[in-house]
Amino acid sequence: MRVSVILPTYNEANNIVPLMEAIEEYLDLAQIPHELVVVDDNSPDGTAQIVAERAKANPDIRLLVRTQERGLGTAIKHGIRHASGEVIAVMDTDFNHDPKMLPQMVKFLEYYDIIIGSRFTMGGGMEDNTRYYFSFLYNIFVRLILRTQVQDNLSGFFTMRRDKLMRMDLDYIFRGYGEWFMRLLFLAWREGYSMLEVPVFYVLRRHGQSKSRFVRMITDYTRTVISLRLGDWKRRGVSELAPEGR
């Protein structure tokens, strides 16, 4: 199966080329056909121009530049809707998500509907211990409220068959910064999609600055968890599956 790796970028000029090279290296070694779909929100640091130069010599690299809209969740949705592969992979572009895990996460889709890169399964973790323990505690809160068994609801690193993903309501799910991942997993769990978490280890960002804003992020995440528990998706007329998937 051909894999479309969705790479949302904003000011990742120093990270994007090494990341694309690493992804291609591991997928090539595993003999997995692929394309890299870079969705750039008109980065002022020239990220899009760098990717465009690479794409001239590599037909497996596709660049989508958005000038009217910004945001991680909607960028991912944009990439998914323009992807051509039978499998969708989504990952960060700051090397938090290890490219060497992609072949395994694609392979396991033979047996599961969603493969999640998880920091909180055996072998997973983070180089930043403070962030690790805070994320661990917050994920306990998420599990208690949503009553699911997913260990890492904030990872944002996953693979999924495109047909399964397109059956879901992408407009409802892919909004905001990182809360989109909680919506995806919660609605997939309600639909009965089978999930597997595989261990990933987050290293520190190589270049640039994180886009995370702690107070706003935790506020938005908590609001999302509570709204899902209270059935916000039902009030908005969203079922687990989008209308075309029922």
167-181, pLDDT tens digit by residue? Answer: 999 999 999 988 999
Q: State the pLDDT at residue 111.
A: 97
pLDDT band at 214 (very low <50, low <70, confident <90, very high): low
Average pLDDT over residues 6-23: 95
- With a cut of 70, say whether residue 221 has pLDDT above it: yes
pLDDT band at 124 (very low <50, low <70, confident <90, very high): very high
**Domain spans of the chain?**
3-245
129-151, pLDDT tens digit by residue? Answer: 898 999 999 999 999 999 988 99
* Tokens (6 digits) for 183: 């919506």
Q: Which CATH architecture has domain 3-245?
A: Alpha-Beta Complex (3.90)
pTM of this structure: 0.90
State how far the Cα of 136 lies from the Cα of 118, in Å rounded to an integer.
11
Q: State the pLDDT at residue 243.
A: 43
pLDDT band at 217 (very low <50, low <70, confident <90, very high): confident
pLDDT band at 203 (very low <50, low <70, confident <90, very high): confident
Report the chain's mean pLDDT, rounded to a whole number: 90
80-107, pLDDT tens digit by residue? Answer: 999 999 999 999 998 889 999 999 999 9
State how far the Cα of 240 lies from the Cα of 246, in Å rounded to an integer.
9
Name which of 11-20, 122-131, 138-147, 231-240 the model is least confident about.
Answer: 231-240
